[in-house]
Structure 1
Amino acid sequence: MYYWWYTDWYNGPGYAPRSRKRDDPTPVSDRDHLILRAVADALFTDPEVTGGHINLGVQNGVVILDGDVDSEPTRSAAAACAWTVEGVTDVCNALTVTKRRRR
């Protein structure tokens, strides 16, 4: 018969008292944070990017655009604007065009 020690109930010498699983989100690199700020500033100042709600993320230089915009030209302008920022390696344009109802 073989016996296997499980760290869940055995905390002998050499065993970590708790799991090493990371519950915290991966920290954003300084480079990605700078790109995020630059893309956000560019989107706010671009007159062609209007009418919608855009969520912005950056991971390893890849800009992720997500959310809803009012027109296809706005969707295209947001992606083009993101490409103008130095350090951007790719743009994932997941923006959807939705027509808003008038009241």
Structure 2
Amino acid sequence: MKIALLNERITIEKSMVEVDKIGNHKNVWSKYYSCYATISSESPQEETSSGAVWDESKIDFTIRYSKEVSVLSSVGYRVIFHNSIYEIEGIDHMNYKKKSMKLHCRRVER
């Protein structure tokens, strides 16, 4: 893996349940891990229905393997890149060599 290609900073957030003073449960996102990534397979796509436009862009992030990212899953984690939120659709462990991981993501609205 060429380290020079890891040129964009991403933040991985984790979903957690927070309980307020009166016992209400609320889902909140908190910063879990920040690292550099290689961006690939960008596929911008817009969908129009009933006069509304949705941005369904897909993107892949390749990151270095570490103990923090070894527990990632497509449920409960998301990626923040250039102030846009990306939902993790799948994770490629790159032949389980424990050198890198590829996150297949889709852009979501705030």
More helix by share: 1
TM-score by length of 1: 0.30
TM-score by length of 2: 0.29
More strand by share: 2
